[in-house]
Structure 1
Amino acid sequence: MAKQQDMFADIVPDPTPVDPSATVHDILRTKGGKRGAAAFATRSMPEAGRRAPVDLLAGPRGPRIIAAAAETAESLATTGVQEGTAGYVYSGWCMLGLPYRRPKGAAEQAWRIDTPYAAIIVEGGSKAMDSGGVQNVGVPFGAYARVIQLAIGSDCLERDTREIELGNTAYNVLRRLGLPDGGKVADSVLEQLERLARCRVSFRIGSDTKGFVVNDRIVEAFEYDTDNSRPFIKRLRLSQAYYDSLRRHPVAIDRDAVGRIRNSAMALDVYCWLCYRLPALEEDTPISWAALRAQFGHGVGALKHFKGPFAESLELARSVYPAARFEVVPQGVVLRPSPPPRNRRGLAAA
């Protein structure tokens, strides 16, 4: 802690107390920007179990939350508007997401998650090998799979086409997706792109007796090549069923915001969920910890181990969605009506 404090030795401590309800953006404004907020967080003592924003900024993910919020604030100051690059996500992904990490055992080829109002099954695809065999390709997982899915869906919807040209080299594909273009990370990104292109997804919204199902591949067809022994997908076409669902049920997102939290799978899921839920609310809506865990806590054993990481992901999502209004309370989270991160503009009629 002493070494961290030394980084801010030139900043005079601000004795003004911060209300527990203050968001990271409030703290940035009142403490003089990124360094002032970081100095304040370093010198603060979190209150055990409270999980207010001021407590979270003093924790291990505090610097990351502050950095994302400061970048968002800088962009707002430069452009004069809150919105960044237009993006869209299918509403089904706002209720249920992909695995956070590589599933183990049979779940890598058939992965399922349920909530009281929706369910998703993701089945890994397969590919024919020159040797005559068949190789299984597991389900997509992690933060990069989410960013890819958001990128290709947004591009197709914005341009009113199911087809997207990704690039003639692996480097160009990675740059097109806005993801790291070198080393093992690049290999992981290209792997997740192939997993998405080959998987089959079944969304069910409703119950066993009444509901709606989208049951198809995300990608209908794709063309691939090899670049310096690195296979990559150069162009693809979304399936008609998935594209139609995306057109009928798009949720507006800010792709610049997604880029700022692109390394956190849970924060990306929480961000999309907030973009979906908050603009549709007419009154304050409480969500219990049990319901939150059912949606976002796959892979987490005890509820007590879920609350902390989820609260941090909430504040990381708010760092790039300043208009989001919610409060973490002992019983869970209270969502409050909020404007969307950006308006739905320029979409072709479904």
Structure 2
Amino acid sequence: MVQPGVFRSDTRDVGNQIVTSKGSTDYVGVPYGPKARLILIYLQSEGLKSRVVSLGATQTAFMRSLGLSITGGVRGSINAVKEQTLRLTRCQFVLQYTQVGPNGEEHTQMTDARITDGLDFWKSSSGEWNGVVELNQKFHENLLEHAVPLDKRGIAHLVGNSLGLDLYTFFAYRLPKLNKPLELSWSQLQGQVGAEMKQHRQLGARIREILPDVMAAYPEANVEVTPRGLLLKSSPCVVPRTQVRGVSVVDGKILT
């Protein structure tokens, strides 16, 4: 579960008029859509280099690094990226795990988690904005331990597709770890990537529709559609890598 964060400011010009009066505290909402996913992927990629992540020299540089076109106006991509950045860095995740023991007993754990500990955000007189994000210590430690390499070309192929990005990152994490085939029903997949879909059949139809694009982004993925869901089989990593002093070397090229 994701809880909306709050933002306190002495100015009114924050995002999409989030702050309504001087010194007020307002909920900024939860992150959503492909832009929020691209920002999260960026924070994790850059977080492998440092816990303090720069959002680029300028807003245009940051947005280009996300593979986004740059448009102004109330509904333009500039405002949308700024708002999703604020939402992502201020929200809180509630992680809940329930395990059932051999005698039917249940053990439930709940943990409050954040992605960031701080956001330094500013806007110049020319209208350009910039920022620096400090990743949460625990999140950063888990990132360094469990990071999965992603291919920028694959991400670029799915840049405007929320479910496609979710499936791509899910496959990238899960498939190389499989020791035997794993079939996931539509209902199980709904818990992983389809929370926005109200019905399992709706999710199944949508996955069937976009799966060719996901497979084009991850050609090595060994995934089959079944009447009940998806059959996952062990697959090579999205990109082969070795780790050299924190820099990912892929096929002899350094990925940044």
TM, length-normalised to structure 2: 0.79
Question: Alignment partner of 1:253: what SS?
Answer: coil
Q: Corresponding residue for 1:149?
A: 40
Q: Corresponding residue for 1:167?
A: 56
Structure 2 gaps of 5+ residues are 11-21, 100-105, 247-256
Deviation track 1:167-211 (CA, whole Å, cap 9, x = no partner) reads: 343223323433222220221112111111111223345546166
Q: Corresponding residue for 1:299?
A: 196
Question: Alignment partner of 2:150: what SS?
Answer: strand
Counterparts of 1:237-256 in structure 2, within 5 Å, are 237-256=134-153
Which residue type is aligned with residue 182 of structure 2?
T
Q: Does 1:189 align with 2:88?
A: no
TM, length-normalised to structure 1: 0.59
Deviation track 1:92-136 (CA, whole Å, cap 9, x = no partner) reads: xxxxxxxxxxxxxxxxxxxxxxxxxxxxx2222112232121121
Task: Please identify runs of 4+ aligned residues in structure 1 that moved more than 6 A.
Answer: none
Which residue type is aligned with residue 293 of structure 1?
Q
Is the contact between residue 96 and residue 108 of structure 2 (CA under 8 Å) also seen in structure 1? no
Pick the structure with greater CA Rg.
Answer: 1
Deviation track 1:19-63 (CA, whole Å, cap 9, x = no partner) reads: xxxxxxxxxxxxxxxxxxxxxxxxxxxxxxxxxxxxxxxxxxxxx
Q: Corresponding residue for 1:340?
A: 237
Counterparts of 1:218-297 in structure 2, within 5 Å, are 218-227=115-124, 232-297=129-194
Counterparts of 1:203-218 in structure 2, within 5 Å, are 203-207=95-99, 209=107, 215-218=112-115
Q: Supply the distance in 2 between the matched residues of 1:320 and 1:202 (Cα, whole angstroms).
A: 31
Q: Supply the distance in 2 between the matched residues of 1:165 and 1:300 (Cα, whole angstroms).
A: 34
Is the contact between residue 271 and residue 314 of structure 1 (CA under 8 Å) also seen in structure 2? no
Q: Supply the distance in 2 between the matched residues of 1:314 and 1:233 (Cα, whole angstroms).
A: 36
Q: Does 1:177 align with 2:86?
A: no
> Size of the alignment, in residue pairs?
226
Deviation track 1:133-188 (CA, whole Å, cap 9, x = no partner) reads: 1121111111110011001111121x2x1012223432233234332222202211
Q: Corresponding residue for 1:140?
A: 31
Higher helix content, 1 or 2: 1
Q: Supply the distance in 2 between the matched residues of 1:282 and 1:329 (Cα, whole angstroms).
A: 20
Higher strand content, 1 or 2: 2
Q: Report percent identity of matched pairs.
A: 29
Q: Tell me how far 1:298 sits from its aligned partner.
A: 2.1
